[in-house]
Structure 1
Amino acid sequence: MTGSRSKNVSLNTIFALSCQAFNLLINFITRTVFIKVLGTEYLGVNGLFTNVLTILSFAELGIGNAIVFNLYKPLAVGDKLKIGSLMALYKKAYTMIGLFVAITGLGLTPLLGVIIKKAPDIPENISVLYNLFLANTVVSYFFAYKKNIIIAEQKNYIVLIVTQVVNVAKIIFQIIFLFVTHQYIIYLIIQIICTITENIICYIVADKLYPYLKDPVVPLNKEETSEIIKDVKALALYKFGSVILNGTDNILISSMIGVREVGLVSNYVLLTTSCSSILNKVTEAFTSSVGNLNATSDPGKQYEVFKKLLFITVWIYGFASVGLILVSQSFITTWLGRDYLLEMPVLIAIVAEFYVKGVHSVAYTYRSTLGFFVEGRWSALAAAVINLVLSIILCQRIGLAGIFIATPIARMLSIGIVDPVLIFRKGFKKNVAEYYVTYFGYFILFVAIVFGCKMILDWINISGWIGVIINAITVTVVFNSIVISIFGRTKMFKELQQTFLKIITK
């Protein structure tokens, strides 16, 4: 990477890790207060409606990805006129999307009885709660589009600062009002206010950083517009498939098992999403730099950077996955009690999805930043169909674990094939077999490490918070020692080490 790209990556990564580590702490505090004050039923409602509105987000149709992709080159060469034109188009699109989500979401209100197998035992009207969730989703589309120009220019740390400050304020107010009022409705209203506040602040910051966005806009010509529309049509299919793939688990659990189980699962999902939030910020810190690289470099350089990013991603997601499998049960027991535990097969299935999705993020980043939207448009839809069919079949056969294990299987059989093939054949001009040999080689290594660490933890056998801490430290030391001993002498590892040292000494 060039000096400017390395500097931006390091800034984005430092801010991302700092913010997410702090978020991890306050999110667990909030969750603890939420459970103690409101209980598991509300937790299930929270998880269910989050999934329902995730599905509604398909209305975005990939417009954001298409326009951000088209921003990389104008930002790299300083074409302010083109940037202004793209942002004007972005604004119109997101206004229409927000209105569509509002109308469609309201239309789904009468169907809530269908997707909830057992009505939760709560005093509030379930439709009122749903519409507050809907309002938070709708307002997220207004003013938010200007965040993306900041991110596309590799200044994601600015957005992170704003998000962090607003998030801390939101959590403080939510905790105070939960203790004082015990009202879930007020909890949701605070969330809506903070979403609006965050978007407005980012909007104002973008205007100050890029004052030319206020200049008169020259509309894109027909050829440029048609190219974007072509990409959006392709991304629409991909987006629709992705939201069905990622956003139906809680709906299936609610309709086939019950809302209470959604609440129990959500505690484990909180662990994986907390890890994802931290690890995604590391990988996202590279995304805009990869977009810049792919817009200005040759396939050989792109491939070399890809290999390094894949290694980093596999390492951190492998480490997190091993830790989640081996430490989660003792953590949940100590944090909430044994009544909140799920069976080990369910935990393994949840972590499998976390790992497969996380490692795939590198291939997805390259596919989107190389602009291969049309070629991969059907893969996510195929994944969604496979996932729904497998979820229903496996849930009937093995229960809750079946719903979760269906998702990584579906991902591997569709997106996990299409994206790597596209970037290797069309992007790097190389054989994709190398990718799969590397991928499954890492996976086998991590499975072996799980069994080795499990034997050590069974021998230690300490309960309580001290046991959780000792288990986490043991997994950290054993896992990373094995990885370093195997890969520490490789050329790629040494190059990554040198890059890291250069970044932290600047």
Structure 2
Amino acid sequence: MARNELKIGTALSMITIIASSFIQILYTPLYMRYLGPGDYGINSLVQSIMGYISILNLGLGNAMLRYTVRYRAEGKIEEENSLNGMFLVIYSILMSIAFIIGIYIYVNLGKFFGSRFSIEELSKTKAVFLIMSLNIILSFPMGIFSTNITSREKFLYQRGIKLITIVLNPIMGAILMINGYGLIAVTVSTVIFAILSYMFDIVYALKLGMKIKFSKFDNRILREIFTYSFFIFLNVLIDQIYWGTDRVIIGRYVGVGGIAIYSVGAIFNTLYMGFASAVSGVLFPRINRLIVEEKHDEVNDMFLKIGRLQYILLGLISSGFIIFGKDFITLWVGKEYIEAYKIALWIMIPLTVPLIQSTGVSIMQAKNMHQFRSVVYFIIAILNLVLSIIFVKKVGAIGCAIATGLSFILGQIIIMNIYYQVSVKLNMFKFWKSILKMSLPMILTMGFGYVLNMYLIEINYFIFTLKVIIYTSVYVGLLWILGLNDYEKSQIYIWKK
């Protein structure tokens, strides 16, 4: 039963990624049409601010999961119950800190954004901030129930709840927007769905036998937990600086219109990363076993195999977006957002490299060498922050995308590839030789797509769909003939591990 649940849960995860992608594509133009770019920008900005408050989680969720599973495996039920109590106390303290920080941010929103926001925009921003803050603050103590359910491998329940929320939440939002309700009502709806999920988690965790005991806290374990969580927290902080700060900077120096344009471009990269993780997740479990068995040649082969498999999909998406991205944005949200095309490209193209090398992160973690990556990423995240402020003052919203792209090139491509080669002992020369050879079909297909655009110049849904189908067919055909090896062809047939 557990094995079947794992398989069903994995399938639901894949469905959730696909459903989330399509819903976001469908939901965004509705948002633009009924609420306008201003409200869309406000929503994106507040979500970014919430991201900073949420990092107070400190990466403790993974630590709790690790120790809960250990205690249960060892039959230490009392220790597990005390662990639940200790984490509830810790999260309650963090919740109080988040509440204080939230009040401080709320009071100072006008000082920070007032020069670029109208009175109405600032009023809406404050209202949305208060509503979203309720969700973030509650998420701290509620996290222990979700983690406990995860520790029991109840994937079917968790993935099912997530999928239901992802589908129903935007449907309710669309109904509210179409019937004339504004941004505040849509935000309230989103928070209600989140609170309902918390309530289901509490009931289900208690039904599974979760108990909370506020005694016999182990100070040694507490120190271990915070040590273990530090680098996880650092990575979360870095991700937030990368993906959340840009909207805050744009709001400070450009305004909500700039945030809306930037957010449209950023959507493509969010979907891009989602598809990459969907491909890589299939083969990741083998990595740890190969490291333990010291099969270094097989580790190199796995790194190359997964990278090439990811590149098959990402090469199609990125090259297709380069050729047809402007048409898609015009049809999707309108010509006034065409700058989002350049914003997306500045991030998407450099981002492709760390995505097809994401197995390297697992290899470093298995070898306990991931600390270097965390430090490097932190440094270039700060560089990204500084460059974003400089560039956005000169060229507007796209300046943040340029800063992010340049930071990727320096840190995630140049520095990390040298580290992979010298310290992690991955054969990067072989990797890049293979990837560049595999790029030939993509380059030829892009040339074909460019010619296709010259003859099919009308912009409508039929012509766009026709061009995408033709382009994809040519890409697959050339890739099959010129790019794929026997292993990759077998994966396309049966996708076996």
The superposition leaves residues 235-293 of structure 1 with CA deviations (integer Å, 9 ceiling, x where unpaired) of: 33333233112211111222222211211232233333244445434545666x46875
Q: 1:481 aligns with which of 448, 466, 477?
A: 477
Could you say which residue in structure 2 is the equivalent of 1:250?
Answer: 247
Number of equivalenced pairs: 491
Q: How does 1:135-214 map to 2 (within 5 A)?
A: 135-148=134-147, 156=155, 158-208=157-207, 211=209, 213-214=210-211
Provide the rounded CA distance (Å) in 2 between the counterparts of 1:235 and 1:217: 26
Q: Contact 2:63–2:229 at 8 Å: present in 1 too?
A: yes
Could you say which residue in structure 2 is the equivalent of 1:355?
Answer: 352
Could you say which residue in structure 2 is the equivalent of 1:316?
Answer: 313
Residues 58 and 400 from structure 1, CA distance in 2 versus in 1: closer, same or farther, beyond 3 angstroms?
Answer: same
Q: Contact 2:354–2:413 at 8 Å: present in 1 too?
A: no
Percent identical among aligned pairs is 17
The superposition leaves residues 59-94 of structure 1 with CA deviations (integer Å, 9 ceiling, x where unpaired) of: 22232344556678x49x944538937665554444
Provide the rounded CA distance (Å) in 2 between the counterparts of 1:359 and 1:88: 41
Q: CA deviation at 1:119?
A: 0.9
Q: How does 1:276-287 map to 2 (within 5 A)?
A: 276-284=273-281
Letter of the structure 2 residue corresponding to residue 470 of structure 1: L
- Other structure's SS at 1:141 match: helix
Provide the rounded CA distance (Å) in 1 between the counterparts of 2:442 and 2:139: 39
Letter of the structure 1 residue corresponding to residue 132 of structure 2: F
Q: Contact 2:135–2:194 at 8 Å: present in 1 too?
A: yes
Residues 165 and 376 from structure 1, CA distance in 2 versus in 1: closer, same or farther, beyond 3 angstroms?
Answer: same
Provide the rounded CA distance (Å) in 2 between the counterparts of 1:333 and 1:220: 58
Q: Contact 1:353–1:408 at 8 Å: present in 2 too?
A: yes
Residues 419 and 496 from structure 1, CA distance in 2 versus in 1: closer, same or farther, beyond 3 angstroms?
Answer: farther
Letter of the structure 2 residue corresponding to residue 322 of structure 1: S
Provide the rounded CA distance (Å) in 2 between the counterparts of 1:164 and 1:261: 31
Q: Contact 1:48–1:251 at 8 Å: present in 2 too?
A: yes
Could you say which residue in structure 2 is the equivalent of 1:381?
Answer: 378
Q: Contact 1:17–1:278 at 8 Å: present in 2 too?
A: no
Give me the CA root mean square deviation.
Answer: 3.9
Letter of the structure 2 residue corresponding to residue 34 of structure 1: Y
2:338 is aligned with 1:331:
no
The alignment's TM-score, normalised by the length of structure 2, stands at 0.83
Provide the rounded CA distance (Å) in 2 between the counterparts of 1:49 and 1:178: 19
Residues 126 and 464 from structure 1, CA distance in 2 versus in 1: closer, same or farther, beyond 3 angstroms?
Answer: same
Could you say which residue in structure 1 is the equivalent of 2:116?
Answer: 118
Moved more, 104-113 or 60-69: 60-69
- Other structure's SS at 1:185 match: helix
The superposition leaves residues 398-456 of structure 1 with CA deviations (integer Å, 9 ceiling, x where unpaired) of: 54333102213213423556666777777x65455545555666678756654443233
Q: 2:488 aligns with which of 493, 496, 500?
A: 493
2:388 is aligned with 1:391:
yes
Q: CA deviation at 1:163?
A: 0.9
Provide the rounded CA distance (Å) in 2 between the counterparts of 1:91 and 1:419: 38
Provide the rounded CA distance (Å) in 2 between the counterparts of 1:88 and 1:283: 36
RCO comparison, higher one (Cα < 8 Å, 6+): 1
Provide the rounded CA distance (Å) in 2 between the counterparts of 1:277 and 1:244: 19
Q: 2:76 aligns with which of 75, 81, 87?
A: 81
Q: CA deviation at 1:463?
A: 2.1
Residues 352 and 495 from structure 1, CA distance in 2 versus in 1: closer, same or farther, beyond 3 angstroms?
Answer: same
2:234 is aligned with 1:231:
no
Residues 419 and 84 from structure 1, CA distance in 2 versus in 1: closer, same or farther, beyond 3 angstroms?
Answer: farther
Q: Contact 1:54–1:247 at 8 Å: present in 2 too?
A: yes
Could you say which residue in structure 1 is the equivalent of 2:17?
Answer: 20
Q: How does 1:402-421 map to 2 (within 5 A)?
A: 402-416=399-413
Q: CA deviation at 1:336?
A: 3.0
Residues 448 and 134 from structure 1, CA distance in 2 versus in 1: closer, same or farther, beyond 3 angstroms?
Answer: farther
Letter of the structure 2 residue corresponding to residue 81 of structure 1: K
Q: Contact 1:12–1:157 at 8 Å: present in 2 too?
A: yes
Q: CA deviation at 1:174?
A: 1.9
Residues 476 and 497 from structure 1, CA distance in 2 versus in 1: closer, same or farther, beyond 3 angstroms?
Answer: closer
- Other structure's SS at 2:385 match: helix
Residues 201 and 357 from structure 1, CA distance in 2 versus in 1: closer, same or farther, beyond 3 angstroms?
Answer: farther
Q: How does 1:34-73 map to 2 (within 5 A)?
A: 34-68=31-65
Moved more, 49-58 or 370-379: 370-379
Letter of the structure 1 residue corresponding to residue 474 of structure 2: V
Moved more, 442-451 or 398-407: 442-451
Show structure 2 runs of 5+ residues with no match. Answer: none
Could you say which residue in structure 1 is the equivalent of 2:459?
Answer: 463
Moved more, 290-299 or 307-316: 290-299
Q: CA deviation at 1:194?
A: 0.8
Q: Contact 1:156–1:285 at 8 Å: present in 2 too?
A: no
Residues 272 and 439 from structure 1, CA distance in 2 versus in 1: closer, same or farther, beyond 3 angstroms?
Answer: same
Q: CA deviation at 1:155?
A: 6.0
Show structure 1 runs of 5+ residues with no match. Answer: none
The alignment's TM-score, normalised by the length of structure 1, stands at 0.81
Q: CA deviation at 1:154?
A: 6.7
- Other structure's SS at 1:132 match: helix
